[in-house]
A and B are shown apart, each in its own frame.
Chain A
Amino acid sequence: MIQMNYRTLLFIPGNNPGMLQNSDILGADGLIIDLEDAVALTEKDAARTLVREYLTTFDTTTDVFIRINPLDSPYFYEDLEAIKDLDIKGIVLPKAGIEPMEKLDEYLNENNLEFDIIALVETALGLELALDIVQRSKRVIGIFLGAEDLTLDLGAKRTKESKEIQYARSRIIAASKALGIQAIDTPFTDTDDIEGLKIDTQNAKNLGMTGKTVISPRHVDEVNTLFSPSKADIEYALRVVEGVKVANEKGLGAFSIEGKMIDKPIILRALNTLKLSGQYKEEYDELLK
Chain B
Amino acid sequence: MNYLNNKELKDVKVISKSEYPSKSVPKAKITKDLSSLIKELGLNDGAVLSFHHHLRNGDKVLNLVMKEVQKAGIKGITLVASSLFPAHEELIPLLEDGTIENIVTSYISGGLGKAISHGKLKGHIIMQSHGGRARSILNEEIKIDAAFIASPSADKMGNISGVNGINSCGTLGYAIADGLKAKKVIAVTDSLLEYPNYPADITEDYVDHVLMVESIGLKEGIVSGTTKVTKDPIGLKIAKDTLKVMEATGLLKDGISFQSGAGGISLAVTSYLRDYMIENNIKGSFASGGITGYLTDMLEEGLFTSLFDVQCFDLKAIESLKKNPNHLRMSGSLYGNPEVSSVVDNLDIVILGATEIDTDFNVNVTTGSDGVLMGGSGGHQDTAAGSKVSIIVSKLFSSRIPFIKDRVDVITTPGSTIDILVTERGICVNPLRQDLIEKFNEANLKIVDIKELKEYAEKIMGEPKTIEKGERIIGLSEYRDGSIIDYIYEVKE
Interface residue B233 (Cβ < 8 Å from any Cβ of A)? yes
Distance of A191 from chain B, by nearest CB (Å): 8
With contact pairs A22-B424, A218-B231 given, residues A27 and B237 touching in the complex (Cβ less than 8 Å): yes
User: Using Cβ atoms and an 8 Å threshold, which residues of chain B touch A221?
Assistant: 240
Whether B425 is near chain A, meaning CB under 8 Å from some CB there, is yes
Check B234–A58 contact: CB distance below 8 A. Answer: no
Q: Is B436 an interface residue (CB 8 A)?
A: no
Contact B236 A58 (CB under 8 A): no
Say yes or no for A217: interface residue by CB 8 A criterion.
Answer: yes
Asked whether, in the complex, the Cβ of A22 is within 8 Å of the Cβ of B460, the reply is no
Residues in A neighbouring B233, C-beta threshold 8 A: 22, 26, 216-218
In this complex, what residue of B is CB-closest to A23?
B233
* Dominant secondary structure at the A interface: helix
CB distance from B191 to the nearest CB of A (A): 39
Asked, given contacts A58-B460, A218-B231, whether A25 binds B236 with beta carbons under 8 Å apart, the answer is no
The closest CB in chain B to the CB of A19 belongs to B233
* B184-242 interface with A by 8 A CB criterion: 231, 233-234, 236-237, 240
**Chain B residues within 8 Å of A217, by CB:** 233, 236-237
B425 pairs with A25, CB closer than 8 A: yes
CA distance A21 to B425 in the complex (A): 11
Contact indicator B460/A25 (Cβ below 8 Å): no
Partner of B237, one of A25, A57, A58: A25
CA distance A21 to B398 in the complex (A): 13
Chain A residues whose C-beta falls within 8 Å of the C-beta of B425 in the assembled complex: 25
Residues of B within 8 A of A216 (CB): 233
**Chain A interface size range:** 10 to 19
| Contact in complex: A26, B460 (CB < 8 Å) | no
Minimum CB–CB distance from B441 to chain A (whole Å) comes to 18
Proximity bits, A218-229, B CB within 8 Å = 1, else 0 = 100100000000
Distance, CA A271 to CA B240, complexed state (A)? 28
A59 to B245: give the CA distance in the assembly, Å: 25
In the docked arrangement, what's the CA distance between A57 and B460, Å? 8
- Collect the chain B residues with CB atoms within 8 Å of residue A218's CB: 231, 233, 236
B412-427, CB < 8 A from A: 424-425
A25 to B424 Cα, complex, angstroms? 7
Once bound together, how far apart are the Cα atoms of A262 and B240, in whole Å? 40
Query: Please, which residue of chain B has its CB at the minimum distance from the CB of A58?
Result: B460
Q: Given the complex, which residues of B lie within 8 Å of A25, measured CB to CB?
A: 234, 237, 424-425
Return chain B residues, CB-CB under 8 Å to A21: 460
- Nearest residue (CB) in A for B461 is A21
Would you give the shortest CB distance from B193 to chain A, in whole angstroms?
Answer: 42
* CB-CB nearest in chain B for A10: B233
> Within residues 19 to 46 of chain A, which ones have a CB less than 8 A from any CB in chain B?
21-22, 25-27
Least CB distance from B423 to A in Å reads 10
Q: Which residues of A contact B240 (CB under 8 A)?
A: 221
A221 → chain B, closest Cβ, in Å?
Answer: 8
Q: Which residues of B contact A58 (CB under 8 A)?
A: 460
- Closest B residue by C-beta to A27: B237
Give the CA-CA distance A26 to B231 in the complex, in Å.
13
CB neighbours (8 Å) of B231 from chain A are 218
CA distance A22 to B235 in the complex (A): 11
- Residues on A with C-beta less than 8 A from B236 are 217-218
Within 8 A of B (CB), among A103-141: none
Of all chain B residues, which has the CB nearest A220? B233
Contacts of B460 in A (CB 8 A): 21, 57-58
The 9 A-B pairs at the shortest CB distance, nearest first, are namely A217-B233, A22-B234, A25-B424, A26-B233, A25-B237, A22-B424, A218-B233, A26-B237, A218-B236
Known: A21-B460, A217-B237, A218-B233. 13 other contacts (CB 8 A): A22-B233, A22-B234, A25-B234, A25-B424, A25-B425, A26-B233, A26-B237, A27-B237, A57-B460, A58-B460, A217-B236, A218-B231, A221-B240
Can you report 21 A-B residue pairs in the complex whose CB atoms are below 8 A from each other?
Answer: A21-B460, A22-B233, A22-B234, A22-B237, A22-B424, A25-B234, A25-B237, A25-B424, A26-B233, A26-B237, A27-B237, A57-B460, A58-B460, A216-B233, A217-B233, A217-B236, A217-B237, A218-B231, A218-B233, A218-B236, A221-B240
